[in-house]
Amino acid sequence: MLEDEGAGEDLGKVRPEKVKKIARELVKRYPAKFTTNFEENKKLVRSLVKVSSVKLTNRIAGYITRLVAPTEAPETEEEKESNASD
């Protein structure tokens, strides 16, 4: 019998292409409207797109939140210490 050792660790979230496509299009059309606040993005998605379910609205808003989030790498301990001493 096969065993999955460590399977599922470090895997990303799977989102349907429909969610990604709608989210990218909304961010492209309205880049200034969306923020890193999920609740605000959810309200905007509801007002801009006719979505059939709450779950789909939440997935689109969540992906938009991830898209507009800053892509900066987290600070390392060394960087924190050097910034604190400045």
Would you list the DSSP string of 7-73? TTTTPPPP--HHHHHHHHHHHHH-TTT--S-HHHHHHHHHHHS--S-HHHHHHHHHHHHHHHS--PP
pLDDT at 85: 57
Q: What are phi and psi of 70, to 5 degrees?
A: -60, 140
Would you state the pLDDT for residue 14? 72
Looking at residue 3, its pLDDT comes to: 42
- Both tokens of residue 51? 């979505």
Domain ranges of the chain: 17-68
Residue pLDDT, tens place only, 15-60: 789 999 999 999 999 999 999 999 999 999 999 999 889 999 999 9
What CATH architecture is 17-68? Answer: Orthogonal Bundle (1.10)
Q: How far lies 85's CA from each of 7, 76, 78, 81, in Å? A: 42, 15, 11, 6
Closest CA to 63 of 32, 17, 30, 29: 17
